[in-house]
A and B are shown apart, each in its own frame.
Chain A
Amino acid sequence: MTQTAFSMPNSIDSVDKTVLSLKDAIEGLLEDDALFRFDICVIEALTNVVKHAKTSDVNAPVQITLTLKNDKVIVDIFDPVGATYFDIREHAPDMSDIDEMAESGRGLALILQCANDVQYGPWDNQNRLSLTFENGVHE
């Protein structure tokens, strides 16, 4: 198992650069379909943190851990300090329930639909969203 820590400034301008850095770190490990799912889930999750997670310290970076374990890629995203507990599994609508003409509200549904596994809960005094990706057919 290998684990790498990343740190992202809590700003929307930093999200895409961070996702590209994470993709560089897993180069060659995920096939195209899984890599697409990784891309979409991580960008939606980080965008959600920056836009919606209230923090008591806006200058505190968002901490991310990338774990490579057997054939799995696991991304752990830690909520900013002071952020309210928010389990996306309890709030994400089903994609089929979203109005096709809605201009927002698809991000959480995409995460649940595209990740192989989604976990959320307390971890070392913070809340952590854990997303797992692996190659193969994904329903």
Chain B
Amino acid sequence: MIHTTRHNDEITVIRPGVERLTAVNAREFKDEVSTLIEQGAYQLVIDFKDVSFLDSSGLGVLVGILKKVGSRGELTVCSLGASIEQMFRISRMDRVFTSYPNAEIAVQSMSERL
């Protein structure tokens, strides 16, 4: 389901691999990202470039992944389209997740903090 790209051996960019991240596929997404974390990937960028919609189940798994990363690393998001940005704002997730315009900027910013 997910597609990953490693940057500088430390930062992993994750593309969910679905157009709509909802209750139908949110669990599978969480399980696959959790496996990455268990394998030692703690600096994560989730790239929503190809995702047009996110429901509350999708939001819930993002929070779950954030908690799983915990103090070991960082989770940011990027490339939010209008609908996902609106969802983040309505659900107040814009206060929880740092968002970047695209993966390149997100990786650059994260690498400067390492």
Please give the residue numbers on chain A whose beta carbons come within 8 Å of chain B beta carbons, in ascending order: 12-13, 15-16, 32-33, 36, 39-40, 43-44, 47, 51, 95-96, 98, 100-104, 106-107, 110, 113-114
The number of residues on chain B lying at the interface, defined by a beta carbon within 8 Å of a beta carbon of chain A, is 25
Known A-B contacts A32-B82, A40-B87, A110-B91; the reply to A47 vs B57 at CB < 8 A is: yes
- Cβ contact within 8 Å between A107 and B56: yes
Q: Contacts of A98 on B, CB cut-off 8 Å?
A: 92
A107 to B22, CA, bound (A): 12
Q: By DSSP majority rule, is chain B's interface helix, strand, loop, or mixed?
A: helix
Closest 6 CB pairs of A and B: A106-B56, A103-B60, A107-B56, A47-B23, A103-B64, A104-B60
Q: Contacts of B22 on A, CB cut-off 8 Å?
A: 15-16, 43, 47
Q: A100-B93, A103-B64 are in contact. List 17 more A-B contacts (CB 8 A).
A: A13-B24, A15-B24, A16-B24, A33-B86, A39-B83, A40-B87, A43-B22, A47-B23, A95-B92, A96-B92, A100-B63, A103-B67, A104-B57, A104-B60, A106-B56, A106-B91, A110-B91
- A–B Cβ pairs within 8 angstroms, 11 of them: A15-B22, A33-B86, A36-B86, A43-B22, A51-B23, A95-B91, A95-B92, A103-B63, A103-B64, A104-B57, A104-B60
